[in-house]
Structure 1
Amino acid sequence: MTPQLHSEPQPRQDLSLLWPENTRPSSPASRNWPGNSIRDTGLTELLEFLKFSSGVKPGAVLAEALLDLCTDQQVIGYRQEVLEDVLFHPELEIRLKAVLPQITTLTDYVASRDRRLSPLHEVSWRLGELELYLQCVEGLLEALQGVPLKSQGLRDLHHHLQAIQQDPLFASLKKELPEMQARFGGLASISIGVNLDAQLKPVEATLLAVHGEPFKGAPLLGRLFGTRPKEGSSNGMGPLHVLPFRQEHIGGAHFQHHERQDTLLHPLFADLARIIGDVAKPISKGLAQYTSLSGKLLARLEPEFHFYLGATSIIRRIQQSGLPMCKPQIAPMQERTCQIEASFNINLALRHLARSGVSQADLKGTIKTNPVDFSDTGRIFLVTGPNRGGKTTYTQAVSLAQAMFQAGWYVPGSQARISPVDRIYTHFPVEERPDLETGRFGEEASRLGEVFQKATSHSLILLNESLTSTNLTESLFLAEDVVRGLRFLGARAIFNTHFHELARNFEQINASVSGAARVVSLVAEVETDPEGEIQPTYRIRQGLPQGVSYARRIAAQHGISFEKISKALQERGVTSTEHTPTES
């Protein structure tokens, strides 16, 4: 008795490795990144590293996973578990990488299917899609087999794939597909009978047979009349239509094949296509029972596999370089904390690895780590220090870690506890635009105003050398007002500034306005080498600005102390000329 075939078991409608059931948002992820914040924070560069590590162009799903700034603790934990299943089981990573090219090809089938295909081409397309579907289901099952999965996402996927495999419809397809492919692939040539009238004009044509081999053999008429077959034909005495051949060399080998053309433009071939389509109808009818089998689910999961494999690759590279990566503890959003030990800028580390060209270069002595501590003791950091001393690198390190945490990744550091943020706002210098009626300062003020119109106490605000486009007195006054506003708002913020007086007065600012975010002063340290030159250490610590003495030393290094200026002028032959009043 033929087993009763039933449809494929329906998965959870939104089965995903990124989103637990009923948690996927409907609005786009870009809502959380106003203005130029994606570029300012370094996320654009990290997406490029993810592209390189995953081997694919960052599409909407990959970008969404890093940029959505998910605030749901359940979702973040769900992703962390999937990541650790892949990270902790190298054999699973290897197996997933092996089956992923097939899933990618299946995704192409699903995405590019042309519904205007002829019945003949529809059969060919469907046979290829179902073959890939079988390979992907069984390949994923093999990849997941025997792995002690802890994540709900991969366990749900495994159970669903097992249900597919146990379905009689799947078993029937696995059994019948090779036979259908053989029957369809066996259409290599046909025999046509043509009846002629008394004047030897063709009046009727009939399909006589379908063959599994290309037509060879000289026709009787050709032997009778001694006509030789034309070059390139299949031994016929007079081919009605032949597609031109094209020569091609691949890897040293020589290939000859028909050029791709629309053969249906030729009337004879158009008629034959309709006839062969009738021959393919039994195969099409056999395929009809598998309509419910579709690669759409696996196509939806394909970029999610790339996301986790890319993340795993980046984490392994960083860990192998001697730098720490850790799973951050998820703190409640209302706690507004970000505490990381031995934090560093992951883009900086990946840049060093890319330049070295060595997969396991030692970066422990190259990349400096710093603590991050947004807590009740301080949520607004005023960071001072010399140019190229690490202020911007530190600021981007914080924002990158925040985004990675909310994507479900590990973060750079040895230990971390982080609360989600709702948005990340940046106010970095932009090129001056002559077309702006308000000028550069007006543009700066406008962008800062937008931040305070939209930011909440759960936002992260990053200011880099803001309010430097007007005179010093006004800039200092306005910068202090901005810091007071940040304290009143209660958001986490980093303000990189050259206003040393602003940083020295942080306690006065705390006392002058009430708020849930205390202001603290951080400094990018420098040190004096044996030759007396000032060198940045790239270490950020709590403390007051190091003063103008370092500024003078750094300026002297670049030749702008009076002593060095006068010496350079004298070496050029310029001498001081004392001018006296001209006597009348």
Structure 2
Amino acid sequence: MVFNSLIWLEDSMKQKIDARVIIDLGLNTIYRSLMSIIGSNDLIINELCLDQKTIYYRQEVLKDFMNSPELLSNLMEGLSGIIQLKGHLNQGKEETNLFCLVNLVIIVEAIILSLEALHKTLLHYEIKSEGLSELKEAVITKTSMNSFKDMKRDLNEVRYILSKIKSVEVSINMSVDMRPEEVRVTEINDNSYRFPLAFRMISESVGVSEKFLGLDMNSYVPLFNLENVDWDILDELANAFKSHKDVFNQFVKRYQKVDIKPFITLLEELTFYQASYEMSNQLKRLGLPQCVPKLLNANERAMYLNNFYNVNTAFEKMNTMESLPNKSIILNDITMNNEARIFILTGPNMGGKTTITQAIGQIQIFAQLGLLVPAEQASISLADNIFTHFSVEEKETVDLGRLGKECEMFSTIFHQSSDKSLLLLNESFSGTSHLESLKIAEEAVMAAKYKRLRMVYNTHLHELAATACNYNDIFNNDTHIISILIGDKRDILSYKIKIGEPLGMSYARDEAYKYGITYEQLTGKEEVNTYGKSNLQFVVVK
């Protein structure tokens, strides 16, 4: 059984991005449900789609789900039992033992139930997208085939035979120190055993409840470890079915190569759409703008965003209030084209520099995932890769030191990138003195302009923003550097970005005053320095 992918086409082009990018941009929290199913190295969101055809294909699938939310939830519910089957593969000692047979019965039954559930759901809802239409045709074809009808008949036959055993009596010989020494099956019955009330229960098989995407999944697991039970016990049970050996062997031979991987892959893809739909629906309830982005040619290397925002900021606000009052989420505009492709972003500490940087990366990834983007309007060129260079933790710098590690990371990123890549730098090269940080940052920005990279560099190095534009005269290409800042002298925490020179020393003075650490505030003396100048006149007290 093979399903068409709801994510990829046969000729899709893609590029794996580093898993750290997803973490740096805060997308791991949004897709936590997806990460609970598949390893982070195989995440759908880690594979950047590079062709418009595939993106449009996904947009249409998502549109079907947004028009009929029950369609998505019913498809997920129909496949809910599949996730448990990962642990049922290749557990038997050999193909003919009883455990392998029962294991295979569970797999075949889950496949039948899943196909029937998919068939019922896909026929019930109106479907317009190419991806879901192809899935619908594949399911209809499979469920109408004689092989599917034969599978159901064979399963019912084996299930009926296995149901004949209702109970098994096991005898245990004890050692002199009263430990179980020998266990054998002594009787197999076709009726359930009634336990005398005088004896207490010492072991049982229980239902283990696990949460998966909000649903309760029940899988029956014995309290003892099956590996510690002599396989001869299972063989003894199999002996009770010796008259049905041919039926069992035929069942195993016919279905031992049945493949559940297509169902698991389909479940993973549906989970991606579910997480994406839930994100979009939450933003809609908050009254925040979203749009289908206009895709530009990759060679344009452009991005035009109107009223964009960071989705993580929106969700943080949502956790503290039921509805967002006006302007509680600041919306911003940005234009990246021939006039500006490298942005040096400065502003107050905790003023939103990282939030803006993350938002630009989120929107680029969402656009290439085929999703709605958090903006009122968006036109975006596809990137061939996305790189983040955020400050590293001290624990990651044992060998090289923090600065050395950051320099090594940037060198790796720089050589992997092209003029169609997007680089996002967050307080990079801050693990050393101010002058050293400035010098290294200047070298990095100059190299980025030479290579014609698209880059957003948020930094506390105001001198870099003030002087980097001079590099436009050194390399006269189509990658211009501009300074943008968050806030202004009147409202340094406005969280609005605009083109302009950094706030510089006057901002630093405002910050000191805000936190009560100016000379006057700390000493209680009158103002002894000229506003905006760095030289203080110290008073000597005798």
TM-score class normalised by the smaller sequence: 0.7 to 0.9
- Structure 2: distance between partners of 1:504 and 1:347: 30
User: Which of 45, 50, 55 pairs up with 2:31?
Assistant: 50
TM-score, normalised to structure 2, is 0.81
Aligned pairs, number: 505
- Structure 2: distance between partners of 1:290 and 1:439: 57
1:61 and 1:303 in contact (8 A); partners too:
no
**Cα distance change on mapping 1:114 and 1:542 into 2, 3 Å:** farther
Residue 279 of structure 1 is matched in structure 2 by 243
Residue 389 of structure 1 is matched in structure 2 by 351
Q: Structure 2, unaligned stretches of length 5 or more?
A: 170-184, 210-220, 527-537
- Structure 1: distance between partners of 2:406 and 2:227: 63
- Structure 1: distance between partners of 2:231 and 2:435: 85
Structure 1 residues 153-195: Cα deviation after superposition (integer angstroms, max 9, x where no partner): 222211111111110121233345334312221222589xxxx
Tell me if 1:33 matches 2:22.
no
User: Which of 349, 361, 372 pairs up with 1:399?
Assistant: 361
User: Which of 94, 97, 105 pairs up with 2:84?
Assistant: 105
1:61 and 1:304 in contact (8 A); partners too:
no
Amino acid at match of 2:351: G
Q: Structure 1, unaligned stretches of length 5 or more?
A: 1-9, 192-206, 217-228, 234-242, 252-256, 529-533, 570-574, 580-584
Residue 98 of structure 2 is matched in structure 1 by 120
1:527 and 1:537 in contact (8 A); partners too:
no
Residue 4 of structure 1 is matched in structure 2 by none
**Cα distance change on mapping 1:212 and 1:423 into 2, 3 Å:** same
Tell me if 1:324 matches 2:313.
no
Amino acid at match of 2:94: R
**Cα distance change on mapping 1:157 and 1:559 into 2, 3 Å:** same
User: Which of 303, 313, 316 pairs up with 1:348?
Assistant: 313
Tell me if 1:311 matches 2:276.
yes
Residue 390 of structure 1 deviates from its aligned partner by: 0.8
Tell me if 1:154 matches 2:96.
no
User: Which of 170, 181, 185 pairs up with 2:148?
Assistant: 170
**Cα distance change on mapping 1:268 and 1:401 into 2, 3 Å:** closer
Greater mean alpha carbon deviation, residues 153-162 or residues 66-75: 66-75
Greater mean alpha carbon deviation, residues 389-398 or residues 68-77: 68-77
Tell me if 1:541 matches 2:472.
no
Residue 72 of structure 2 is matched in structure 1 by 93
Tell me if 1:129 matches 2:93.
no
Residue 444 of structure 1 deviates from its aligned partner by: 4.2
1:184 and 1:280 in contact (8 A); partners too:
no
Structure 1 residues 182-223: Cα deviation after superposition (integer angstroms, max 9, x where no partner): 2221222589xxxxxxxxxxxxxxx9x98632368xxxxxxx
| Residue correspondence of structure 1 range 420-499 to structure 2 within 5 A | 420-431=382-393, 440-468=402-430, 472=434, 475-499=437-461
SS in 2 for 1:180: helix
Residue 480 of structure 2 is matched in structure 1 by 518
Amino acid at match of 2:31: L
SS in 2 for 1:365: coil
TM-score, normalised to structure 1, is 0.75
2:347 and 2:492 in contact (8 A); partners too:
no
Residue 336 of structure 1 deviates from its aligned partner by: 1.0
Amino acid at match of 2:441: A
**Cα distance change on mapping 1:231 and 1:398 into 2, 3 Å:** same
**Cα distance change on mapping 1:272 and 1:398 into 2, 3 Å:** same
- Structure 2: distance between partners of 1:66 and 1:267: 44
SS in 1 for 2:319: helix
SS in 2 for 1:416: strand
**Cα distance change on mapping 1:115 and 1:374 into 2, 3 Å:** farther
Greater mean alpha carbon deviation, residues 270-279 or residues 483-492: 270-279
Residue 342 of structure 1 deviates from its aligned partner by: 1.4
Residue 19 of structure 1 is matched in structure 2 by 8
2:462 and 2:502 in contact (8 A); partners too:
yes
User: Which of 504, 516, 519 pairs up with 1:559?
Assistant: 516
**Cα distance change on mapping 1:292 and 1:164 into 2, 3 Å:** farther
- Structure 2: distance between partners of 1:391 and 1:267: 63
- Structure 1: distance between partners of 2:150 and 2:396: 71
Residue 202 of structure 1 is matched in structure 2 by none
2:22 and 2:28 in contact (8 A); partners too:
no
User: Which of 166, 169, 178 pairs up with 1:188?
Assistant: 166
Amino acid at match of 1:99: G
Residue 52 of structure 2 is matched in structure 1 by 73
2:487 and 2:494 in contact (8 A); partners too:
yes
Residue 38 of structure 2 is matched in structure 1 by 59
**Cα distance change on mapping 1:274 and 1:450 into 2, 3 Å:** closer
1:189 and 1:213 in contact (8 A); partners too:
yes
Residue 372 of structure 2 is matched in structure 1 by 410
**Cα distance change on mapping 1:269 and 1:93 into 2, 3 Å:** closer
SS in 1 for 2:288: coil
SS in 1 for 2:61: helix
**Cα distance change on mapping 1:271 and 1:384 into 2, 3 Å:** closer
Residue 350 of structure 1 deviates from its aligned partner by: 1.9
User: Which of 257, 264, 269 pairs up with 1:299?
Assistant: 264
Q: Which has the larger radius of gyration?
A: 1
**Percent of counterpart pairs with the same letter?**
27
Residue 139 of structure 1 is matched in structure 2 by 117
Residue 355 of structure 1 deviates from its aligned partner by: 4.4
Greater mean alpha carbon deviation, residues 437-446 or residues 483-492: 437-446
- Structure 1: distance between partners of 2:392 and 2:358: 16
SS in 1 for 2:524: helix
Residue 416 of structure 1 deviates from its aligned partner by: 1.5
Amino acid at match of 1:46: L
Residue 351 of structure 1 deviates from its aligned partner by: 2.4
SS in 1 for 2:496: strand
**Cα distance change on mapping 1:155 and 1:247 into 2, 3 Å:** closer
Amino acid at match of 1:545: P
Residue 271 of structure 1 deviates from its aligned partner by: 6.5
1:323 and 1:364 in contact (8 A); partners too:
no
- Structure 1: distance between partners of 2:523 and 2:27: 47
**Cα distance change on mapping 1:154 and 1:62 into 2, 3 Å:** farther
Residue 371 of structure 1 is matched in structure 2 by 333
2:290 and 2:372 in contact (8 A); partners too:
yes
Greater mean alpha carbon deviation, residues 139-148 or residues 486-495: 139-148
1:323 and 1:363 in contact (8 A); partners too:
no
Greater mean alpha carbon deviation, residues 419-428 or residues 134-143: 419-428
Root-mean-square deviation over aligned CA pairs: 3.9
Amino acid at match of 2:291: C
Amino acid at match of 1:101: S
1:184 and 1:283 in contact (8 A); partners too:
no
SS in 1 for 2:456: strand
Residue 331 of structure 1 deviates from its aligned partner by: 1.8
Structure 1 residues 389-448: Cα deviation after superposition (integer angstroms, max 9, x where no partner): 111110011112222222222221122122222232333333458987876555444443
Amino acid at match of 1:155: S
Residue 222 of structure 1 is matched in structure 2 by none
